[in-house]
Amino acid sequence: MTSVQKADVVVVGSGAGGAPVALTLSEAGAKVVVLERGPWYSVREFTHDEVGVCRRDFFVPYPYDGYDPKTIRKQGQKEAHRTSEGWIGVCVGGGTVHMSGFFYRFKESDLRLKSMTGGVKGADLADWPLRMDDLLPYYDLMEARIGVSGQAGINPYETRKRPFPLPPLHSHPAAKLLDQAAQSLGFHSFPTPRAILSRSYGNRPPCNYCGFCGDYGCENGAKSSTLASLIPAAEDTGRCLIKPGCMARRVLVDRDDRVTGVEYIDPQGEVKRIQARVVVLAASAIESARLLLLSETGRFPHGLCNRSGLLGKNLTFSTFGKATAVFDRGELEAKLGKAGMDLPFLLRSVQDDYWMEKTPLLLPKGGTYNFLLHHPNPINAAIRLALDSKWSLWGQKLKDRLHKYFHEELWIEFEVFGEFLPHQGCYLDLDPRVKDRFNLPVARITNRHHPASDDVNRLMVRRGMDILEAIRPAPRKVTPWTWATTTYHLQHGTCRFGTDPAKSVLDPCCQAHDIKNLYVTDGSFLPNSGGVPATPTILANSFRVAHHISKSFRRREI
């Protein structure tokens, strides 16, 4: 082991949970080191190569070559198998680099799910130790620091008091037809807020409307990833050092249960230590919990910060329903004209079913309908078309079908982001057999769905299809794809925050109950998944926690 390094603060992870902390504390005068296990990509490396980016290990490690697998058991399986599920994004900027950037805010029902439902049988619900007013200033701060586009005052259910920093992006003309269809059914559609620049912002250029947002890095920095926005600003302070290719393997504490630093493996495979007065974990809900489980000591034999026994528990993802409508492009052009028909963004959302008072279902908490155009990936399109034909299309027939898809049709679809209820059947622990390239136990995911979440998901898919079917000119067909959950980009829980150390891992400021000056700021703190993607909330909360730490730093309390 080489000589020990020193810093005021060590942040593990550079994505939504880590970058706001690194920026805020370096601006406050602290010496900050960010450990990121993945590479540091430049914009020149962000291409539209679907094979290289989406179907290789550009963002997510291979699970089968002894590198960095995870294992998973689904819906009652006894044996876990290797998987690439559970990763978000292994690079500087984390999952914000390849996110689509749908930036909705949580609502009061997300924060009060237990009290508003009275509890749901079989679910482990907990209200947040915060109110929405505690988060609103940090939502505003986050949007201003990274750059978010949208239009305030349209969504009757929005939780905001200020306009967006940027106007909305240009939407496809078919958005008008969807607005009319939604209104005819009593729904209120609104422009989808995006973490994408609609015009120049600081030294970053606006979106070039290539359409390759989700699953890709942005080739001009218009997507408001932490890589493009917060990381450069943190570096500009001269007090923040980003160390790519460095994997944290243990959090270090002293006999007084105070954090002292982090042990990590550098790009050459050498084990090193860095001392710190504060350690902030932001490696993802799964990897942060894994790191704490790997950091067991004599005083914490079942994992650091695990006196409550809740470390790794209450793991949640997001329910994920989907349906697609196929339209004749010629019919749409006859009604709308050809101007703007090549724009890649539909940019429409509906939140009327976020809370459903009159539903007969066990869970009244719904979620968000996000309407969008089909992704322009050609390989994915070919697979989808072949699958729709029950694999009867191949060769020239498949090529002809692809030509029709790209030139004669328009596919409009929606995704449902809904509440994934926390319960005892979904959790994380260490796999007893499978290890990574450094001979460390990997994270084992046990994933079962609470049936109430699946019931709501099916209901929302049906209601979303009603909107698609009401569009005129009418779609040729509407096809449901009711996947029950997504485990790739949206993960939460494992280190739930709260006021009672017996019922939570973190306090309301996301400091561990058991260890002084150890914080967790990724999605681990969330008691529940919410009815929208949690990335904006993770960013906002990270700024909130960083503000708390910076005040202690300035008072010389740490």
Question: What dotted CATH number matches 1-149+194-317+422-429+487-558?
Answer: 3.50.50.60
- Cα–Cα distance between 181 and 189 in angstroms, integer? 9
Q: Which CATH number fits domain 170-192+319-419+450-484: 3.30.300, 3.30.410, 2.115.10, 3.40.50?
A: 3.30.410
Judge contact between 127 and 527, C-beta under 8 A. yes
Q: What is the pLDDT of residue 64?
A: 78
Where in the sequence of the chain do the CATH 3.50.50.60 domains occur? Answer: 1-149+194-317+422-429+487-558
Bridge partners of 258, per DSSP, are 516
Q: What is the pLDDT of residue 75?
A: 77
Judge contact between 446 and 299, C-beta under 8 A. no
Q: What is the pLDDT of residue 206?
A: 98
Q: What is the pLDDT of residue 484?
A: 58
- Cα–Cα distance between 247 and 306 in angstroms, integer? 22
DSSP 8-state assignment for residue 187: -
The CB density around residue 174, as the number of other CB atoms within 10 Å, is 23
Q: What is the pLDDT of residue 1?
A: 47
Q: Does the model's pTM come out above 0.95?
A: yes
Of 155, 98, 107, nearest to 131 by C-alpha is 107
Where in the sequence of the chain do the CATH 3.30.410 domains occur? Answer: 170-192+319-419+450-484
The mean pLDDT values, 10 residues at a time, for the chain of 558 residues are: 80 98 97 97 96 92 80 87 90 97 97 96 97 97 98 96 97 98 98 98 97 96 98 98 98 96 97 97 98 95 96 94 96 97 98 94 96 95 94 96 97 96 96 94 94 94 97 96 64 97 98 97 97 97 98 84
Q: What is the pLDDT of residue 340?
A: 96
Bridge partners of 431, per DSSP, are none
Beta strands (DSSP E) in 460-548 are: 477-481, 518-520
Q: Report the run of H or E that residue 443 belongs to, with start and end.
A: strand 441-447
Q: What is the pLDDT of residue 376?
A: 93
